[in-house]
Amino acid sequence: MLQARLHFWRTGSKAEGRLKIRRADSKAEGKLKIRRADSKAEGKLKIRRVGSKTEDRLKVLRSGSKIEDMLKVRRTGSRTEDRLKVRRTGSRTEDRLKVRRTGSRTKDRLKVRRTCSRIGGGRAPRLTEDGLQV
């Protein structure tokens, strides 16, 4: 399902803290939206597949890890092998996120890369502790 390379880019205002994920070869049904959840304290993010069924919705939850930048992505109501992990790799300036399917082969690994977007230009955006972009 998420077999293509994905790109993050900024949408909406800073207050909304919205991100979009799209496949590089994306069709309309392949697009995903990340939205900030209601609870600001918990720093939750929701990923929802646009135009899809309810069971295709994804949740992104900030883990309880000491590493502030680590995020967990998991499919709601899914099997363990279908869970995905999202975590920050490299330096802050690189600002890359790596997505991999847990328990999968190397060929199934996915990379989510924060682009120095052609849309907005400038440096790559960074996430704050709340999961919002700076």
CA dihedral angle for residue 131, residue 63, residue 56, residue 90, rounded to 10 degrees: 60
Per-residue pLDDT tens over the stretch 51-99: 443 333 344 433 333 333 334 444 444 443 333 444 444 443 333 344 4
Least confident of 23-27, 38-42, 57-61, 124-128: 38-42
- What is the pLDDT at residue 133? 53
3-state secondary structure string across the chain = CCCCCEEEEEECCCCCCEEEEEECCCCHHHCEEEEECCCCCCCCEEEEECCCCHHHCEEEEECCCCCCCEEEEEECCCCHHHCEEEEEECCCCCCEEEEEECCCCHHHCEEEEECCCCCCCCCCCCECCCCCEC
* Residues paired with 62 in a beta bridge: 71
Whether the CB-CB separation of 125 and 95 falls below 8 Å is answered with yes
Whether the CB-CB separation of 97 and 88 falls below 8 Å is answered with yes
pTM: 0.17
Mean pLDDT across the chain: 41
- What is the pLDDT at residue 15? 34
Q: Which two tokens stand for residue 26?
A: 């994306």
Q: Which two tokens stand for residue 96?
A: 């890359």
Q: What is the mean pLDDT of residues 10-31?
A: 40
